[in-house]
Chain A
């Protein structure tokens, strides 16, 4: 457990950071809170020759509501920034609540949402709720900006569509027709446990009829996935325990979990059933919680 040798840069602008990443190519790694990267380096999973810290990019540390665009969350916001943010608490406390269930307080003080997303582990807690809320991600590279839907960002465990010179700049949660959303994380203890299953849902319910629904699952496939059959099933249905239970059953048929030291595939599959049902109930009854 010893950090390998590396060179360290802390550029002052996004442009400079992208420039460096472009020049250094594979040799470089971006460092945000370091709660994923440092562990990988200590465990010799990664040995970047250069570490490019983004800590000076203050413009990526804001959370704000921009009319017509939605809530913009800067990539360098920490999990605890999300937990404490008034804008989110008011509009989407489901997002702050997802952040509150992550890791432990020390890690929530350091870990950033950009890091959580770029790291792209299937069990990451933020992507499912962002996907349920149809969020997009703004990427900035040497060739300019582009916006990608959160659900299209991930291509495999640890893999995203980001190019070598690209940074995640912000996550945008668009204005919603969805009337409620919720994320349930199931870990094997109350704090400091990675999700064995994460289920995020967003629903649009009018007069007790489900107009629209999005269900996103974490830790049960190579990337966060949507349970589209469950979503289709829900659309147009009148809310009832049976309908929500059936949606759970359908969603559990849509995931492809693996067995590992934390949980078996069988268990995860059934947990998807249970938590889809429960998350839907919460979102329907309580709004964005």
Chain B
């Protein structure tokens, strides 16, 4: 299926590498407008309570303060990212639900004045008892955080495919294990920032976000604006990892404050505030039961999962479904039961973070299945080979899976890592482990109900043909989507990549895309711009055909041609249009495009993409169904200091079944970054709160310990040559999130191999390892 392409499959330079490496790239916080004001949110200092009064009078007297707004000054319509659970207000009405909740906003002539004003604002509360863990939230008589969620139960899911109990009864071996995940944080480097201004009845908002469309949609809905009257724009974005999909309080506040003051307003968070904005990974409490036959074939699996949600729903419903919906894609499990509850608590809301809802369940399952294999004497990789899905199949839940080579990924990772020589043979304190994962390549549905296409693309060729503008509001949050979209558009057009330019990050100027989440853009926006490019090419070939005929260079019916020259006899590659049977007869794309412009006006190509009806009919099928699924295997090697518990991850291998790789350099970058996040969450990272007050304890990068370059092992990122996805443009599938999902399992399994004690509680800190080793010694085993 694979062809020789000019750009697809090549590591062309990123379009932004020069501006970013020279420090010239502009981010939202770099923007300045004449008369621009600076603003910040007023935040709750208690975890749960009723607002008795807000006294802003002292702050208003402060020289330079321009406006202070609270709930009474803004629309009271609730918003959220899950239509059935809109539960968040722009600013708290009556009640605050976490230490850091949004009470209002202040803007002033400069930053300094804003900080001073914040100190002068006095909020009086009637404190209510707070619930800081799901266990407390679920107790009889626990304080109610929302009226609409009795017992603080935000959602529950009960899926049952096949007959688990019957299958467990027949199983050769049944095992149950419990696991605990932790709350983590995206740790993107660019904090949220939003800057807005108005021109008449039109508002313009620059937002550091993952979807200009959703921000536009949610703001317009709550503010009662027509979408045509709110332009959402963006500059470069310093990453998101799921944390910039929800509108932040800053977006609303910037638009409202700039309306009130008549001046541009820039709202911004510092790192601690970004931690408080939350939306990171849910801590999950998980119980897994698996029954297998003698060979390790899974007969049934039961997964019980509780998510600790924090104060609002946000994307939490999708997180809950994702916790259970993708296991059946990885492994062939005929009998599967998934029970899930999500509770609200008085902490910052949890939401989506790279791999959305899936990494912790992956950790749990991948470790659990090793323990099952160990009990029946089956090697971990063999356990996976026995149970792995194959391509062109349908899952128990009804999802259609086209390309899928988890088997190949396991074998390649096994061989590359020297698994057979190493596993169980490395001696005390050294170990090797494997984990599988994968992800959707885009969600099957929009976040809200609509019949819009998921992505629309356009290519406009400049008048004289010397530039091609590629339009898409797909968001380049650093992953390089602009680059790969231009590669695909250039390929489809037969035009030089270097002369393409993105028109993006602007809901007025560019074309609809739902944004950077669910690893969707390369496939969905890819289809849209590929189709747009193809339409340009079609027009160019038709025009070239006309030109060649008129030029007299073509002698019709003469020798190499059977009939009159048609556009189908032509092709265009890298800016040259030529006769396929006689490539020496050619024109430049430029001259053809120019002629087109003279004869017809602007040379445009348009494309769009909708995934259509996808598989799965059960309630919640929308979260998990996708046009294409990636799969991946990672192997990690670790050293454990058997006295101190210190863990060092020394080497890793990743094989990602990602279809056609559009840009190998960017692909390997994604794998590397994904592993980095995964290993960080396995060993180091956890957001901590005071157990009484719910106050954030480590909202900084000294105490929220991300791994450093020195902690990061080398990652050998491998690919499967024959991976090709028919549902993806050029045969591609995702890599962005899927590569995070095997990591925790692989590293945890390596730790187990090294120390011989199963670690089921994330993060697997040095101290936990030390404690486990000490307890093992004390118990004399």
Instruction: List the interface of chain A (C-beta within 8 A of B).
Output: 1-2, 104, 186, 188-194, 261-264, 267, 270-271, 274
Point out the residues of chain A lying under 8 angstroms from B765, CB to CB: 188
Selected contact of B644 from candidates A190, A191, A192, A271, CB within 8 Å:
A271
Interface status of B272 (Cβ within 8 A of chain A): yes
- How far does the alpha carbon of A186 sit from the alpha carbon of B646 in the complex, in Å? 9
> Are A261 and B708 in contact, CB atoms less than 8 angstroms apart?
no
When distances are taken between beta carbons in the complex, the residues of chain B under 8 Å from A271 are: 644
CB distance from A224 to the nearest CB of B (A): 20
Q: Could you show 22 A-B contacts with beta carbons less than 8 Å apart?
A: A104-B708, A186-B644, A188-B765, A188-B766, A189-B684, A189-B707, A189-B708, A189-B711, A190-B710, A191-B708, A191-B709, A191-B711, A192-B702, A193-B705, A261-B697, A261-B703, A264-B767, A267-B770, A267-B771, A270-B770, A270-B774, A274-B643
Contacts A261-B698, A267-B767, A271-B644 given; does A190 touch B272 at CB 8 Å: no
Give B111's nearest chain A residue, CB to CB.
A2
Q: Closest residue of chain B to A3, judged by CB?
A: B112
Given contacts A1-B272, A189-B707, A192-B702, contact A261 B688 (CB under 8 A): yes
Q: Do residues B771 and A194 form an inter-chain contact, with CB atoms below 8 A?
A: no
Q: Determine the residue in chain A with the shortest Cβ distance to B271.
A: A1
Q: Does B270 contact A (CB under 8 A)?
A: yes
Given A188-B766, A263-B767, A267-B767, does the pair A2, B707 have CB atoms closer than 8 Å? Answer: no
For A186, give the chain B residue with the smallest CB separation: B644
Report if B146 contacts A (CB, 8 A). Answer: no
A2 to B111, CA, bound (A): 8
Nearest-neighbor residue (CB-CB) of B646 within chain A:
A186
Residues of A with C-beta under 8 A to B708: 104, 189-192
Which label, helix, strand, loop or mixed, suits the secondary structure of the B interface? Answer: loop
Which residues of chain B have C-beta atoms less than 8 A from A274's C-beta? 643-644
Residue of A with least CB distance to B765: A188
Q: Does B188 contact A (CB under 8 A)?
A: no
Assembly CA distance A191 to B112 (angstroms): 33
Residues in B neighbouring A261, C-beta threshold 8 A? 688, 697-698, 703
Chain A residues, CB < 8 A from B770 = 267, 270
Please give, as numbers and ranges, the residues of chain A lying within 8 Å of B643 by CB-CB distance.
274
Choose one: B111, B270, B705, B774; the contact of A189 (CB below 8 Å): B705
CB of B270 within 8 A of CB of A1, answer: yes
Q: Does B469 sit within 8 A of A, measured CB to CB?
A: no
Number of B interface residues, CB 8 Å? Answer: 27
Among the interface residues B698, B709, B766, B771, which one has the most CB atoms of the partner chain A within 10 A? B766
Inter-chain CA distance A191–B684, complex, in Å, is 13
What 0/1 readout, one digit per residue, does chain B (151-188) give for beta carbons within 8 Å of chain A?
00000000000000000000000000000000000000
Question: Complex: how many Å from CA A125 to CA B510?
Answer: 54
Q: Which residues of A contact B698 (CB under 8 A)?
A: 261
* Residues in A neighbouring B5, C-beta threshold 8 A: none
Whether the Cβ atoms of A188 and B710 lie closer than 8 Å is no
Contact of A188 among B115, B684, B688, B697 (CB under 8 A): B684
Q: How far is the CA of A271 from the CA of B766 in the complex (A)?
A: 11
Which of B708, B765, B767: most chain A Cβ within 10 A? Answer: B767
Closest to A187 in B: B705
Q: How far is the CB of A6 from chain B (nearest CB, A)?
A: 13
Residues of A close to B646: CB separation below 8 A: 186
Point out the residues of chain A lying under 8 angstroms from B771, CB to CB: 267
CB interface residues, B 604-622, toward A, < 8 Å:
none
Binary CB contact string for chain B from 359 to 383 against chain A (1 if under 8 A, 0 otherwise):
0000000000000000000000000
Residue of B nearest to A262 (CB): B703
Near A by CB (< 8 A), chain B positions 740-777 give: 765-767, 770-771, 774
Of all chain B residues, which has the CB nearest A271? B644
Residues of A contacting B766 with CB < 8 Å? 188
Residues of B within 8 A of A267 (CB): 767, 770-771
New A-B contacts (15) at CB < 8 Å, excluding given A189-B711, A267-B771? A1-B270, A186-B646, A188-B684, A188-B765, A188-B766, A189-B710, A190-B708, A191-B708, A191-B709, A191-B711, A192-B701, A192-B702, A261-B688, A261-B698, A270-B770
With A2-B111, A267-B770 as known contacts, state yes or no: A188 contacts B270, CB within 8 Å: no
A193 to B708 alpha-carbon distance, docked (Å): 10
Cβ contacts under 8 Å, A2 to chain B:
111-112, 115
The distance in angstroms between the C-alpha atoms of A178 and B643, with both chains bound, is 28
- Is A188 a contact partner of B644 (Cβ separation < 8 A)? no
B691-723 to A contact mask, C-beta < 8 Å, 1/0? 000000110011101011111000000000000
How far, in angstroms, from A1 to B709 measured CA to CA in the complex?
A: 27
**In the complex, what residues of B have CB within 8 A of residue A264's CB?**
767
Bound Cα distance A267, B771 (Å) = 8
**Cβ distance A37 to chain B, nearest Cβ, rounded Å:** 15
Q: In the complex, A194→B701 CA distance in Å?
A: 12
Q: Which of B414-440 contact A (CB under 8 A)?
A: none
B281 to chain A, nearest CB (A): 19
Across the interface, name the chain B residue whose C-beta is closest to A274: B643
CB distance from B412 to the nearest CB of A (A): 30
User: A191 — which chain B residues lie within 8 A by C-beta?
Assistant: 708-711
Tell me the complex Cα distance, A193–B766, Å.
13
Q: Which residue of B is nearest A42, CB measured?
A: B270
Q: Mark B102-118, 1 if CB is under 8 A from A, else 0.
A: 00000000011001000
Closest to B703 in A: A261
Contacts of B710 in A (CB 8 A): 189-191
Complex-state Cα separation, A274 to B702, whole angstroms: 25
Contacts of B702 on A, CB cut-off 8 Å? 192-194
Q: Which of B233-274 contact A (CB under 8 A)?
A: 270, 272
Chain B, 667-701, contact with A by CB distance < 8 Å: what is the 0/1 string? Answer: 00000000000000000100010000000011001
Q: How far is the CA of A186 from the CA of B710 in the complex (A)?
A: 15
Residue of B with least CB distance to A277: B643
Closest 6 CB pairs of A and B: A190-B710, A2-B115, A191-B708, A1-B270, A267-B767, A274-B643
Shortest beta-carbon distance, B765 to chain A, in Å? 7
A105 to chain B, nearest CB (A): 10
Residues from chain B with a CB closer than 8 A to the CB of A104 are: 708
Residues of B within 8 A of A190 (CB): 708, 710-711
Contacts of B711 in A (CB 8 A): 189-191
- Inter-chain CA distance A188–B707, complex, in Å, is 9
> For residue A1, which residues in chain B have a CB less than 8 angstroms away from its CB?
270, 272
Residues of A contacting B703 in the complex (Cβ-Cβ under 8 angstroms): 261-262
